[in-house]
Every structure is written in C-alpha cells, then in structure tokens.
Amino acid sequence: MIGRTFPRGGGEIPHRKEATENKSIVVFGAPPEVVIPLKQHIGACCEPAVAVGDHVKMGQPIGEARQFVCTPVHASVSGEVIAVEERPLPDGGKSPAVVIKNDGNDQLYKEYKPRDYEEMSPEEIRRAVKEAGIVGMGGAGFPTHIKLDPPTVIDTVLINGAECEPYLTCDHRLMLERAPEMVEGLLAMIKASGAETGIICIEANKLDAVEVVRQAISGHDNLSVEVLQVRYPQGAEKQLIKAVLNREVPSGCLPCETCCIVQNVHTAIAVSEALKGKPSFERVVTVSGGAVLDPRNVLVRIGTPIEDLFNFCGGLIGEPAAIVAGGPMTGPPVAELGGPVIKCSSGFLALRENEVGFDQNRPCLRCSRCVEVCPMGLTPNLLGELSSKGYYRKAEQLGLLDCIECGLCSYTCPSKRSLVTWIKDGKAGLAKEKAS
C-alpha cells in the first residue's frame, strides 16, 4: 500500500466522492437575507456589535470577541440589520444571531490591504487571524489565533488534506484550485507559531492534488507533501500525527504537547485571505448525496439558509431519508433546513434510504468488531453500555474522554447499536455530573 498510516484500528468505508470530486467550485450569489450566528466556534459567544436598523457593510464586524476563547463574526452582505435574536443552528442548537436584509450592493466595509507575512511579526499575524474571525474550518471550529499561540514549543505545522469522510470533496477541490493560497497560509502559520517545517498531508486517492500541491511548494525547502494510505479515520488529528510524525498524543493532552499543530486546508486559505485584509465571511461546502439533483462544491456566504443551498444545486429528489451537516460518519443530522451555513460547515448531505444505516439497537453479539476497528484502542461496546445506563465515572475509567467519535464502532456493529451516540451522551452526562 502507498503511504503511511496510523497503526491501530481504522477501516475501509465507501468513498462516494465521485459526484463532486471532478467538478470545479461554483459561486452561489448572496441570498436576500442572511442569518449570522454569533457563536460559530468552540468557546464563548460573541457580543452583538450592531442593533436593529443599523446599515452594515460586507466584512464589517457584527459580533465582538470579548472573552479569551472567542473570535469575531462579520457581515457576509451589505444591508439592514432587521433582527438580533436567537435562531436555530444546523444541528438543532440555538445561538444569538444577526439577521441582515441584503441590499444587493456588496458594499465593502473597507478596502482589502494585502500584507506580506514575511514583514509581519508572529504577533501581528496572529492578530490579523483573530480580527478576520478565523476558526478551524474542517468542522471543529476552534479559534485559529489561539491554536497559533500554543503554550509549548512547536516544530511542525500539519495541513490536514486527508478528507477521509465519504462524499466530502471541498478540501480536495480547494487544493486543486487554490493551492498557492493554501501554501501562503501555511507559511504564515509556521511563522506565527514558531515552527520550522510544514507538511501537507493528502490521502492517496487524491493524487491529482498531490501533484498540484507539490508544484505549489516548489522552492520552499521547509515544506513537504506526505501521501497517506486511504483509511478511515486518517484525517482525525491524533491519527494524522501518529501516521506522519510517529508521535503519540497522550491521553487528555492536546496535539501541541507533541510539538505540532494541525490545521485544515480551508483554514490555511482563510489565513492567506486574512493577510489580504479579507475577513472570514464565506466558505466552500460540498452539497451531495443521492437525494441532491446536481451535487456541487459551492462557495457560499456565511448565513445562507441551507434550504437555499440545496435549491441552488437543483433541489432535492423526493423526501431524503436523512440530511446531515458535514460527513455521514461524524456529522450531526440537520434539524432545521432554514438554519444557516456557518464557518465550520464542510458539507450538507441529503441521503436516500439506501445510503443510510439507521440504529436498531439489537442485543450486542459480543463479536468485538467495534473493538477491532477503534483507532484509539478502546472498548466501544462497554463505553456505550455504561454511558447508556448512566455509569459515567466507570466509562471515564475505561477511556470515555479519549473517544474521538469517528463513528466506526456504530458503522461496523452488526446489531446496529447506537454506540457513538451513547458515548457522546456519556461525555455530556459526565461533564454535567462533574459540574454539579
């Protein structure tokens, strides 16, 4: 097999990327109205910086970051603020949001002023990243400026181009179409974090991207491309670090404690845009699944209703069996089609019955398949059982908090048990128990 991989667990799953992997990114014009949540990241919610009746411009800060783990949000259109109120998120949660009626003018808040990262200090780069409101765009949503200022010495920045989830191809297309910007963002992050080298990690089913990226890094001796085996969950942070650097992230620790940080392809491009003065108010998402008439990768404004995005891709064929935000292995179900695209939305999938395996929760067969595939070396059957019965402390002793929620245990279970769902609930229950 070609390339490196992690040593434990994992498995092969259907890719189902053929509907979009060879289609260029298309631009979806801004909708008549955008709903921009003030919490699109891990950490504290922003405080609104505008009020009903205010006229805002595209790129204007509309949410202020007043706490440490927080990042500002910006208007994705110009127009009138018609509401500042709680609105639903794609996963069914809620967040305070700024609703803007688009005036169609796309009037910029200020002209973009490009800066050269080589002439900026690490602190200036981090400040530019924070002011641009950049978060991890692979799905986690952690504020990038904090990640670039770790408490430990960093020697390597990894760019995660594995994109191992089925259906999703937005990172693949971005590497093909915007590799120079990704490389510029990587170089800026290397300087901002004090690292020495950067490695762009790509699975072997994207060899066209490998070739393009290798051309883009030509002349940069501190950059390289690592081709990885096609294996799920190769793109998980801990598995990627082990595969590429042969470093183990200790239980309860962050990747920075292994002297590296991991950033997403789209995040690196957003950093490049921040250096040019452009805030994070749009992103590329994959719209796919058997119930989508014309699957595409779409550049879309933050705050665009998900329903509008599906309509842009030809609409839905019949009634989907499930609609998922992100990839099918880890993404939550979409509870509200009127909910908005947010910064960490990597995709939206409308799946037919034959693409979905619903939980049935038949009795456990003690077959140990979930144990064999667990990339963290855990016992998902026991963690799920303990969590479902409320034995959170016992589950913690068996490594509950080390679960990366990749979903392989539920996927491989012949009894279709809700293992990963129970484990997620167990983590929430444990946190609540500790808090009380």
What are the φ/ψ torsions at residue 67 (nearest 5 degrees)?
-120, 170
Q: Mark whether 220 and 344 lie in a shared domain.
A: no
User: In which residue are the tokens 């890094």 written?
Assistant: 217
Is there a single domain that holds both residue 121 and residue 258?
yes
Residue 164 belongs to some domain of the structure: yes
16 is a domain residue: no
Q: Are residues 173 and 200 in the same domain?
A: yes
Domain boundary residue, one of 260, 275, 290: 275
pLDDT confidence tier of residue 92, bands split at 50, 70 and 90: confident
Of 184, 228, 192, the residue nearest 210 (C-alpha): 228
Count of domains for the chain: 3
Note whether 138 and 215 are same-domain residues: yes
Same domain, 347 and 379: no
Domain that holds residue 165: 117-275
Same domain (yes/no): 140, 258: yes
Is residue 261 in a domain? yes
pLDDT digits (tens, 9 = 90+) for 319-360: 999 999 999 999 999 988 989 999 999 999 999 999 998 889
Q: Is residue 123 part of a domain?
A: yes
Are residues 132 and 254 both part of a single domain? Answer: yes
pLDDT in tens, 383-405: 999 999 999 999 999 999 999 99
CATH number at 197 reads 3.40.50.11540
The verdict on residue 11 lying in a domain is no
pTM as predicted = 0.95
Contact 400, 426 (CB under 8 A): yes
Q: Are residue 43 and residue 135 in the same domain, yes or no?
A: no
Closest CA to 239 of 143, 344, 373: 373
Which segments of 139-255 does DSSP mark as H helices, in order?
A: 144-147, 170-177, 179-193, 207-216, 237-245
Quick: pLDDT tens for 105-155: 999 998 888 899 999 999 999 999 999 999 999 888 899 999 999 999 999
Do residues 129 and 264 both lie within one domain? yes
